[in-house]
Structure 1
Amino acid sequence: MPVHPQVAQYLEEIAKIDLPPFDEMTPEFMRSTLTPSPDPHIPSSTIENRSIPVNGTEIPIRLYTPPEAQIKKNEVLPALVFFHGGGWVIGTLDAYDGVCQDLAGTASCKVISVDYRMAPEFPYPVPFEDSYLATEWISAHASELGIDRQQIAIGGDSAGGNLATAVALKARQSESLNLVYQLLVYPVTNYRFDTESYQRFGSNYFLTKRAMEWFWEQYLPDESAGREIYASPLRCKNLTGMPDALVITAGYDPLYSEVVQYMDLLRKSDVNVEHLNYEDMIHGFFRRSDLYDRAYEAVQAAGKKLKQIYARI
């Protein structure tokens, strides 16, 4: 299947932009190029910014409450803890504001977006540790946040999907942190660049092989860290006890092969996995409902699945 016409148009437009090679880019320059969030389709009734204690400092979180028509007064809601993408380097809460509101509105849950500290200023394992400790804090303060600590799902896209996966891995060892589901949107799962999808889609489809090499260079303090399971979850040989998952992929994504390998590993560990592949889309499409009709379609599918999961608990 060829790329969607909306994708083809976008690729033509960005091909005209004169950008320096990744070897010459700085994190500051990359952050300046990040596109703002599209407006939400389902605006949240309230949006609250807070700071929480993590790793001897404080990091921001943002809480989204679905529209008032969907909830009862003082109702305790299920929650999705969400980690934004951006290669562990360039994402922000603001850039994901619209998609978080739409997830909250579609799933009828609270979404808590976590602004973990980023590389290269804070390389691995700091973003992972921030994400895990923030999830623990959210669970411990569930009553204060108006959420049900027995109905906490976790999710993210790309690098955020990597962090969500790593948090779920470590949470298996916790007696107090109970994660009920994973929403993984084209998650980074392995520090390798030799898969079939890297070979086929590693250039000319927005996210490139060189871009991923650059992001990993910023994230890892040294190459040996890429072999650790909390950096490369695909290297964990036993995923027994992981929460069930919805995994969303894009057909023209250099990460596609490693995500499929990770899903296979989950299934071999008796984890129930539902896979939605948007075969004519590219990496990064999920949050760009301003460009792609299929983006909001995917967000709706994710939200509806979460709503089904919460209803069963």
Structure 2
Amino acid sequence: MRLMFRLPEPVKRRMAGPTVQIDGQALGLDAQLLVEMSRRVGFSLVVNESPDESRAAMESGRYTLEGPRYEDIVSENLAIDSTHGDLHATLYTPRHLTASAAPLLVFFHGGGWVIGSRTSYDPLVHFLAHHAQVKIMSVDYRLAPEHPFPAASEDALAAFEHAHRHADELGVDRARIAVGGDSAGAHLSAVLAQVTARGEGPRPSHQFLFYPATDLTRRRPSRDLFGDGLILTDHDITWFADQYAAGADRSDPRLSPLLGEVDASLPPAYITTAGFDPLRDEGERYAEKLRQAGAEVTLHRETDLVHGYLTFFAVAARFRAAALEVARAIHDRMHHSP
């Protein structure tokens, strides 16, 4: 697979087909080749409508997505105390930060609240810890449908509070503990930022939301434009939401943070979207809502990429460039006191 992405551009273009243009955007060559290869092998995020089979497929896919291992990153497994039992996490630490009060990103993986794990996201988190030079705590939260809403959001809050409570042991600066993740993990981060803003406990210093899901109550134009054959499909979105939110009121801000109350007290947000992502519009609408409320927000759209582009950073140069952009954003914001 990787060899195909290293072929000369004219060869890749012949394999990928004519440039796809939708909504005034051109799909990048690497992204289009990925989409075409996925189509040929029958790739799907949801396998036979089965959570177990879908999880197994994602876990096996990590070997295709494995990136370089950086010698400066030390990882250790942690147990997070929670009212629902121990949660598990992995702490990634750049070696020169081992003895200092460092910034920490509490990271929640994607996968529609149903699939994914800190194991499947290990390559990406390892990459971000190295290039952003921050500590990252990657968390395994409970998955649906065995543990439906609000289990994942409760676990996200428990993980953040654990990091704040044990900051000294973790070598972490309490004033620089951020939350972030991609897709469903970005959704959990946005929910956590809203919940903590209304409470009296610790709050994140920043929120990093990478192509987030923000509204489970309605469709937006990007879902109709990009919901077929571009990695994340309309069917996938419906299936994931039905697993996590079955029987719940989807207008609850913990399910649809776009419908929540926001104001300038929310932590600064860095939000990325992908031009060819069915979730694009709701992510950008959330950025606009934060901006109108007076919160600090940066919105960055990768116009030529698809949903989940960060996880493909090791496959092709275009995805790696986008992941480096995210790492720079994390570094620049977290190495300055809030």
Q: Fold match, TM over 0.5?
A: yes
The equivalent of 2:193 in structure 1 is 168
The equivalent of 1:102 in structure 2 is 127
TM-score by length of 1: 0.93
CA 134–72 in structure 1, closer or farther in 2 if over 3 Å, else same: closer
CA 20–297 in structure 1, closer or farther in 2 if over 3 Å, else same: closer
CA 16–164 in structure 1, closer or farther in 2 if over 3 Å, else same: same
Task: Note the residue ranges of structure 2 that are not aligned, 5 or more in a row.
Answer: 1-24
Specify which of 32, 38, 42 is matched with residue 8 of structure 1.
Answer: 32
Native 8 Å contact 1:120 1:219 kept in 2: yes
- Percent sequence identity is 31
CA 206–101 in structure 1, closer or farther in 2 if over 3 Å, else same: same
Native 8 Å contact 1:44 1:104 kept in 2: no
Code of the residue aligned with 2:291 in structure 1: it is R
Q: State the distance in 1 between where 2:129 and 2:52 align.
A: 31
The equivalent of 2:163 in structure 1 is 138
Native 8 Å contact 2:217 2:251 kept in 1: no
The equivalent of 2:79 in structure 1 is 51
- 2:246 aligned with 1:246: no
Code of the residue aligned with 1:48 in structure 2: it is E
CA 31–73 in structure 1, closer or farther in 2 if over 3 Å, else same: closer
SS of 1:85's equivalent in the other structure is coil
- 2:262 aligned with 1:234: no
SS of 1:113's equivalent in the other structure is strand
Cα deviations by residue, 1:90-121 (Å, 9 ceiling, x for unpaired): 11111111211122122221000010010000
Deviation at 1:127, TM superposition (A): 0.5
The count of corresponding residues between Structure 1 and Structure 2 is: 309
CA 274–102 in structure 1, closer or farther in 2 if over 3 Å, else same: same
Native 8 Å contact 1:229 1:236 kept in 2: yes
The equivalent of 1:208 in structure 2 is 233
- 2:326 aligned with 1:302: yes
Q: State the distance in 2 between where 1:239 and 1:284 align.
A: 29
The equivalent of 1:60 in structure 2 is 88
- 2:156 aligned with 1:128: no
Task: Note the residue ranges of structure 1 that are not aligned, 5 or more in a row.
Answer: none
Specify which of 290, 299, 302 is matched with residue 275 of structure 1.
Answer: 299
TM-score by length of 2: 0.86
SS of 1:260's equivalent in the other structure is helix
Code of the residue aligned with 1:176 in structure 2: it is G
The equivalent of 1:157 in structure 2 is 182
Deviation at 1:158, TM superposition (A): 0.1
Q: Name the stretch that deviates more: 202-211 or 303-312.
A: 303-312
CA RMSD of aligned residues (A): 1.9
